[in-house]
Amino acid sequence: MKLPRVRASRAILSLGLLAGCTGQIGDAGGDTGNLSGAHSGGAVGSTGTGGSGGARPSSTGSGGAPSDGSGGTPSGSGGSPMGQAGSLDLSGSPKYYRVIRLTNAQWAAAVQTVLNISAGGLEQNFESPVYGMTAFSNNELVLGFDSRNWQDYQSAAEALATQVTASASALAKVYSGTDAAGLITTVGRRAYRRPLTTTEQQAYMNLYTTGAAQTTGSGTAFTKGAYLVISAMLQSPNFLFRTELGAQGAPLSGYEMAAKLALWLRGTGPDDKTLDMAGGTGKLDTADGAAALTQTMLGETATANVMRQFHGEWLHFDDYEQITKVNVPSFTDALPAELEEASYRFFDNIFTQGLGLKDMLLSTSGFYGPQMAKLYGVTAPANGYAQSDLGSKRVGFFAQIPYLTLNGLNAEPNSILRGVTLNLDVLCATLGPPAANIPPIPPLQPGQTNRQRIDTLTGTCGASCHNAMINPLGFAFEHFDGMGQWQDTENGGLTIDSSGSYTFADGTTKTWNDATGMMQAIATTSQAHTCFAKKLASFGMQRDVVASDMPLLNSLTSASMGSGTNSEKQLILQLVRSDAFRTHGGPQ
């Protein structure tokens, strides 16, 4: 289910820092919010606007620059001054909540696990979090609880209880026995994700007795009692919230670890087998035990689906459906959906094949459907999607048609937007707020390249924003037009200049001649790997990642940059082994 996003148009995203232009290396898209940010809509269909924008200003707790190739060290609570390149902002507002409400998707999958039923779709009517307030929709900061949530859960619980107690055969799928004690123990453990206490069991037995004694209705005493029990369990905070209730810094219990892993990687509560593993045996009380269960989960379809959500939210794939183009014959109404699915398939393949960030940035393999095949100039698949090598000019996902078309201005490249998105999403750079009055991108003049046009428009911005941070990354894609197609020359045969340079967070300045060189430079800098580690850790721990998390980010960055496959799966295993994941929350 897609979540509604508080967003402005992508025209606002192309907005600029044309008057005052300040920025700093930092968070990509904000774990604390980016309402009108760089991923706010489809490519605009008319004359666009200049500049950059959408980045939130830095707040407290920014981190420091990676200096040893493995991440970075905090440079102080205030971070670097606005406009100073070479630092990694880790500002955010983590609350380290010990009680976190299930997301709507987790709730929907959890009721299936608890009741052994197929999908019902009741969550589609639930109130959704304001997506865009945080980097990911599972962040603790957007999972509040109010009267609307309560009404949603109450209605759904009653409907589900009615469904599974409609007959003895329906109830038998939830619990095969016919005794109240067994029903309460078995279903209660699934719902609470731990065994019920003696007091809880007695309370549910009292409730069962009340229901079984009812004289109205056509059900049996067992189904009537079960209705009240199941309805109450599904409304309990012990079901609706995942908890970490031990002392700060203490290891999670086996049951807490089972719930945390299952809800994250499977998107549902732990099943009976996982709960058996959590209790008594102590298998999930150690880093090795948690990693072993994680290793199993990483090979499951459910986890691949959860990672599909991660990739889609990280790079804002829901923006594809908003693409519009004016006077571009190669654009069709069927193309946006194809671009979105091809993007998902690229990252699905990265995860399932045990690949990592380097492959995301450097792989020349991509997916395409019939509409995209025309743009790539390859044979369309007979049906569905095909995967093939797209050639040496298509290095990494960001040189493929989906990204370039999304970040294109009709048939022309949107250099500003391309530069902004790489700064925010790949390098975790925070850019300053847009100017109050944004001039439009002027029409291309005879004898003028797109690069010259943008340089003229942003020339007064200053070295700290467009000229040093945004334009160099965007200009690397000048050979790709607004539909992502390669062009040797532009505007009547003018020579294209896609060279550039950028000072990364480790203090080094790297230069390139084209997009291939830029992607190779980015792939070898610790900044990109630390940024990706931050995104993955934020998604996995359901909170903002801040300066105090640098030891974790250093470790993940080293793993991502090291020799070998450097896979996402390996980073997930390392995250699960970390104290940050395995202990009760709070700054250490």
196-225 pLDDT tens trace: 999 999 999 999 999 999 988 889 999 999
Residue range 391-433, pLDDT digits in tens: 999 999 999 999 999 999 999 999 999 999 999 999 998 777 6
> What percentage of the chain's residues is helix, strand, coil (to nearest 5)?
45, 5, 45
pLDDT at 17: 31
pLDDT tens digits, 85-113? 556 778 899 999 999 999 999 999 999 99
3-state secondary structure of 495: strand
Per-residue pLDDT at 44: 29
DSSP string over 405-424? HHTEETTEE-HHHHHHHIII
Length of the chain in residues, anyone? Answer: 588
Q: Is 99 helix (H, G, I), strand (E, B) or coil?
A: strand
Contact (CB, 8 A) for 437 and 403: no
Burial 137-154 (b: 16+ CB within 10 A, else e): bbbbbbbeeeeebeebbe
Among left, alpha and beta (phi > 0; psi -120 to 50; other), residue 354 is: left
How many helices and strands in the chain, by DSSP H and E? 24, 12
Tens of pLDDT, residue by residue over 293-320, are 999 999 999 999 999 999 999 999 999 9
Q: How far apart are the C-alpha atoms of 212 and 115, rounded to whole Å? A: 20
Residue 284 burial by Cβ neighbours in a 10 Å radius (0-12, 13-18, 19+): buried
For 431-441, give one letter per residue: b (16+ CB within 10 A) or e.
Answer: bbbbbeebeeb
Q: What is the mean pLDDT of the chain?
A: 85
- Domain map of the chain by residue range? 10-92+323-523, 99-243
| Confidence at 80, pLDDT banded by 50, 70, 90 | very low
Q: Is the pLDDT of residue 49 over 90?
A: no
Q: Which pTM value belongs to this model?
A: 0.86
268: pLDDT strictly greater than 50: yes
Q: Encoding tokens for residue 289?
A: 């035990």
Instruction: Give the pLDDT confidence score for residue 87 in this predicted structure.
Output: 67
Beta bridge mates, 430: 24
- 83, pLDDT greater than 50: no
Position 31, amino acid: D
Report the distance separating Cα 255 and Cα 195, nearest Å: 9
